[in-house]
Structure 1
Amino acid sequence: MTTPLGDSAPDEFATAVSAFARTRVAPRSTAMDRAAAYDPALLDELREAGLLGIEVPERYGGLGGGLRHVLAAIEELAVVDPAVAVLVDVQNALVAAALLRHGSGDQQRRWLPRLAGGAVAAFALSEDGAGSDAFAMTTTASPTPGGHRIDGAKAWITNAAEASLFLVCARAESGLTLFLVPADAPGLRVGERVDTTGVRASSTCPVVLEAVRVPEHDVLGGLGRGAEVVVSVLDIGKLGIAAQQVGLARGALDLAVRHAQDRKQFGRPVGAFQGVRFALARAAVEIDAARALLSAATAAVESGADAATRMRSCAGAKLFAAEVAERTATLAVDVHGGLGCTADSAVARLHRDAKVGSIYEGTTNIQLRTVAATLLAVPEAGGRDEEGLVGT
């Protein structure tokens, strides 16, 4: 997969990533889930396979793929391990995507080769008091000679423990602004990992910034344009999580079908009983529908659709894929019966992993709020649309 993608179809790339996931990721998944950490050797293999720079141009050491290649990789990795998929998602569909679409030429030349070369990135947006209401953040950026001083604390930051680069959102005098901050910047400190229920190998940590100095050339997208850039980036981020959830659902369904064919009760495979086979059939149809929504939303982003269409499509794809993943993972546990409730079973892990899909990158209610805002001309009762960004 280190060969540049060029004109390679996303389906061809998906086949290659699927083989990588089965042979390099799946054998490690149980141990990484137990340890609540990635195998360091796997991070090297992700880099060698080009999966940390999928959309990064060839001249910067990446694969030179497109958005659909990114989403194909996330989906195929999630079939076997959603925790690995989310690392690749944040790397490619958030930070690299932001640099490619909003970074200056200098920023791209400095950072894209590092990302493609194995430097892990993290997006520092959320805070303890600013989750669904992301723009209620209190992290500040104050002007200093030649740049800015950032002070504040971020929470629930994915990839924080492995990150070499943080894309930090803070309040400047001119409005929300994004900053490129190296992990070794004086004053930046990554806290202890949060012990999560699912996607346990993925690091989730608080990040403290105390008088962190950022030069002017590391402002991404321009001073005061952070809100606009964040919305644009989060649309792609939602597609990444939708792809992860579709992959998770596919993996859960595959395990359920296999067990339904092998497990016998009352003298026949449990898959012969209508109560099981119809449930599996419905799950297959829902997964197909989720993939279709994801494809349509991807097309809206690729074609430069208007903001309302793009936001509605991305929110809808993420919302539906997360719901399908949770239902399918629950079904897989049910089909496995008691075996599905053992801590180290693959279906139990996918069931734990599925829940966060309806929470991160915007909760289900936030996605519904976004879709509703594109349908109704009247404002939400008692709500507010800070900076014109409903549903972010």
Structure 2
Amino acid sequence: MMRTSNLPAFEPLDPVGIDDLLTPDEKAVRASVRHLCAERVDPFVADWFERGVVDDVRGLAEELGALGLLGMHLEGYGCAGMSATEYGLACLELEASDSGIRSLVSVQGSLAMYAIWRWGSEEHKLEWLPRMASGEAIGCFGLTEPDIGSDPGSMRTRARRDGSDWVLDGRKMWITNGSVADVAVVWAQTDEGVRGFVVPTTTPGFSAPEIKHKQSLRASVTSELVLDGVRLPDAAALPEVRGLRGPLSCLNEARFGIVWGSMGAARSSLAAALSYAGERIQFGRPVSGFQLTQQKLVEMNLEYTKGVLLALHLGRRKDAGTLRPEQVSLGKLNNVREALEICRTARTVLGANGISLEYPVIRHMNNLESVLTYEGTVEMHTLVVGQAMTGQAAFR
């Protein structure tokens, strides 16, 4: 019989020893991202959130690029070529600092860069991907419109041929990185179906006014894209795809990062609650000594642990080439919902201090309200999984 003294120590934030399932390389990636966030993000992010401004976002992008985090799961063109699981662990650490910082990386790598890498011409790739991987150039992804969210097939932005050129007119809304981007991947209706276009943001007729008055993702640049007669050469169109398959493939890449990232927000809030409960004295002893508080802490940790195990399983499937889109939907549906509930429960453990930016909980809670609905709402992911289970489409 093994003696308890021979067992590894119990880790409060890894109660079942998930770390044993990670390779040394995966742990090294996680440690590098955690160190960067501790130095470059954590001391400042509450202030950024409160002011609604990320100081020196371009400098931050270059530091993220120098660490190989931008388009890190893509091969070639200056990209790091890391595994899906390593990318997921990076997303977890980034979102443990703030959802807005993870969004910057996700939109850059999994939306804008992936669209060019997967569907672009060789000229597109050579022109943009190396600079985007280094953080020298920032990208955004224009799909959502002011009146079009879950039904992208009804988008109103249109591209029409004019001689050998394309002319784009329309509006896109809720675009991360929009007003700091050097390039936008914009999706539009054409006579040939939905097509994507690589749009340098200096093109006449293109503008990206920043959206103000947000109460979520405040440490993130969010913009509207305005396209008024934006004239592009024929070569600006992504040549390798027609229809919604293009943008939806990109969204699936970003959703995978959210499956992991949401657990970062959950871990940060759980850690804050656990630490606070051990320090806060009520009725002569720490709050953590009361049964109801321990129940909250344990329930939060159960859902966090299950969420990380789910993310890791999906990461292994993605690395093996066996991950289905419906499985990503299931992961996003579960993990964001549970992360939000963990944050709300952590807020109750902290009491009134839970609404203060001196602690990360209310910031994560507010951010996750956006994460809950972007890259697919609860309703849409529920119906995706429901259709996979029943064979019946219930979207309309």
TM > 0.5 between the two? yes
Deviations 1:236-285 (A, max 9, x none): 11112222211110111111111111111112111111111121111112
Output the amino acid matched with 2:390: L
Matched, 1:146 2:164: yes
Q: CA deviation at 1:219?
A: 1.9
Q: Residues 263, 350 of structure 1: CA spacing in aligned structure 2 closer, same or farther, 3 A cutoff?
A: same
Q: How does 1:53-64 map to 2 (within 5 A)?
A: 53-57=71-75, 60-64=77-81
- Which of 248, 267, 271 is the equivalent residue of 2:288? 271
Which residue pairs with 1:26 in the alignment?
42
Measure, in 1, the Cα distance between the counterparts of 2:37 and 2:233.
Answer: 39
Q: How does 1:98-113 map to 2 (within 5 A)?
A: 98-113=115-130
- Which of 214, 229, 237 is the equivalent residue of 1:219? 237
Deviations 1:126-173 (A, max 9, x none): 001111112210001111233311111111111112111111110011
Q: Is the 8 A contact 1:51 1:88 kept in 2?
A: yes
Which residue pairs with 2:264 in the alignment?
247
Q: CA deviation at 1:344?
A: 4.6
Measure, in 1, the Cα distance between the counterparts of 2:243 and 2:87.
Answer: 24
Aligned with 2:223: secondary structure? strand
Q: Is the 8 A contact 1:125 1:169 kept in 2?
A: yes
Q: Is the 8 A contact 1:32 1:39 kept in 2?
A: yes
Measure, in 2, the Cα distance between the counterparts of 1:63 and 1:378.
Answer: 40
Measure, in 1, the Cα distance between the counterparts of 2:211 and 2:153.
Answer: 24
Measure, in 2, the Cα distance between the counterparts of 1:286 and 1:103.
Answer: 40
More deviation in 241-250 or 93-102? 93-102
Measure, in 2, the Cα distance between the counterparts of 1:293 and 1:50.
Answer: 25
Matched, 1:318 2:318: no
Which residue pairs with 1:50 in the alignment?
68
Which residue pairs with 2:367 in the alignment?
353
Q: Normalization by structure 2: what TM-score? A: 0.88
Q: CA deviation at 1:365?
A: 0.6
Aligned with 1:123: secondary structure? strand
Measure, in 2, the Cα distance between the counterparts of 1:235 and 1:221.
Answer: 20
Which residue pairs with 2:178 in the alignment?
160
Which residue pairs with 1:36 in the alignment?
52
Output the amino acid matched with 1:265: Q
Which residue pairs with 2:315 in the alignment?
298
Q: Residues 203, 375 of structure 1: CA spacing in aligned structure 2 closer, same or farther, 3 A cutoff?
A: same
Deviations 1:63-122 (A, max 9, x none): 232332322211101112221111011111222222233333222111111101321111
Q: Which runs of 5+ in 1 are unaligned?
A: 1-6, 385-392
- Which of 23, 28, 34 is the equivalent residue of 1:12? 28
Measure, in 2, the Cα distance between the counterparts of 1:8 and 1:288.
Answer: 20
Aligned-residue identity in percent: 30
Aligned with 1:60: secondary structure? coil
Aligned with 1:214: secondary structure? strand
Q: Is the 8 A contact 1:37 1:201 kept in 2?
A: yes
Which residue pairs with 2:142 in the alignment?
124
Output the amino acid matched with 2:363: R
What is the root-mean-square deviation of aligned Cα atoms in Å? 1.9
Q: Is the 8 A contact 2:273 2:346 kept in 1?
A: yes
How many pairs are equivalent?
Answer: 371
Task: State the structure with bigger RCO (CA 8 A, min sep 6), 1 or 2.
Answer: 2
Measure, in 2, the Cα distance between the counterparts of 1:9 and 1:221.
Answer: 36
Q: CA deviation at 1:230?
A: 1.6
Output the amino acid matched with 1:373: Q
